Structure 1
Amino acid sequence: MRFDPWSPEFVAHPYDAYAELRQRPVTFFEPTGQWLVARHADVNALLRDRRLGRSYLHVATHTEFGRPEDPAFLDPFWRVIRAGMLDVEPPVHTRLRRLVSRAFTPRMVEALRPKVAAIATGLVEDFVARGGGDLVAEVAEPLPVTVIAEMLGVPEADRHLLRPWSADICGMYELNPSVETQRTAVRAAEEFSGYLSELARARRADPGDDLISALALVADGGDTLTEEELVGTCVLLLNAGHEATVNVTGIGWWSLFRNPAELERLRADHGLLPTAIEELMRWDTPLQMFERWVLEDISVGGVDIPRGAEVALLFGSANRDPEVFAEPDRLDLGRRENPHISFGAGIHFCLGAPLARIELAESFGALLRLAPRLELAAEPTWRPGYVIRGLTALEVRV
Structure 2
Amino acid sequence: MASAAPVITDVSYTDLLEDPYPVFKRVRDTAPAVFVAAANLTLVTRFDDIMSIERDPATYSSDNPASLVNKVMGPTFMRKDGAAHATGRKAIEPSFRPGTIKEHWAPKFTEICERLIGALREAGEADLFSALAAPMASLSLMEMIGFKAMPWQTLAEWSQSLIDGAGNYARDAEIDRKAMEAGAGIDAAIEAVLDHHRANPNPSILSSMVHADPPMPIEEMRANIKVIIGGGLNEPRDAILTLTLGLLENSAQKESVLARPELWPTAFEEAIRWISPIGMYPRRVTRPVDLAGVALPEGVQIGLCVGAANRDDRRFTEPDRFDMFRPKQSHLAFGAGAHFCAGTWVSRQTVGRIVVPMLFERLSNLRLRDDAPPVIRGWVFRGPVSLPVRWDA
Q: TM-score, normalised by structure 1?
A: 0.86
Alpha-carbon distance between aligned partners in 2 of 1:40 and 1:308, rounded to the nearest angstrom: 23
The 5 A counterparts of 1:1-398 are 4=11, 6-7=13-14, 10-23=16-29, 24-50=31-57, 51-57=59-65, 78=70, 81-111=73-103, 112-157=105-150, 159-174=152-167, 175-207=169-201, 210-219=204-213, 223-361=214-352, 362-377=354-369, 378-383=372-377, 385-398=378-391
Alpha-carbon distance between aligned partners in 2 of 1:180 and 1:12, rounded to the nearest angstrom: 20
Structure-2 change in CA distance of 1:97 and 1:273 (3 Å): same
* SS of corresponding position for 1:199: helix
> Per-residue deviation at 1:95?
1.6
Structure-2 change in CA distance of 1:157 and 1:304 (3 Å): closer
Count the aligned residue pairs.
377
Alpha-carbon distance between aligned partners in 2 of 1:4 and 1:363, rounded to the nearest angstrom: 37
Amino acid at match of 2:165: M
Amino acid at match of 1:269: R
Alpha-carbon distance between aligned partners in 1 of 2:70 and 2:28, rounded to the nearest angstrom: 34
Identity of aligned residues (%): 27
> Per-residue deviation at 1:348?
1.5
Structure-2 change in CA distance of 1:226 and 1:302 (3 Å): same
Alpha-carbon distance between aligned partners in 2 of 1:152 and 1:218, rounded to the nearest angstrom: 15
Instruction: Give the match for residue 3 of structure 2.
Output: none
* SS of corresponding position for 2:329: coil
Per mean C-alpha deviation after superposition, the further-off stretch among 93-102 and 139-148 is 93-102
Structure-2 change in CA distance of 1:3 and 1:237 (3 Å): farther
Q: Where does the alignment leave 5 or more consecutive residues of structure 2 unmatched?
A: 1-7
* SS of corresponding position for 2:386: coil
Q: Residues 113 and 136 of structure 2 are in contact (CA less than 8 Å); yes or no, is this contact kept in structure 1?
A: yes
Structure-2 change in CA distance of 1:4 and 1:245 (3 Å): farther
> Per-residue deviation at 1:206?
4.9
Q: Residues 124 and 139 of structure 1 are in contact (CA less than 8 Å); yes or no, is this contact kept in structure 2?
A: yes
Structure-2 change in CA distance of 1:133 and 1:2 (3 Å): farther
* SS of corresponding position for 2:121: helix
Alpha-carbon distance between aligned partners in 2 of 1:42 and 1:343, rounded to the nearest angstrom: 16
Structure-2 change in CA distance of 1:134 and 1:226 (3 Å): same
Structure-2 change in CA distance of 1:196 and 1:306 (3 Å): same
Structure-2 change in CA distance of 1:370 and 1:100 (3 Å): same
Amino acid at match of 1:52: Y
Alignment RMSD:
2.5
Amino acid at match of 1:382: I
> Per-residue deviation at 1:180?
1.0
* SS of corresponding position for 1:212: helix
Per mean C-alpha deviation after superposition, the further-off stretch among 278-287 and 106-115 is 106-115
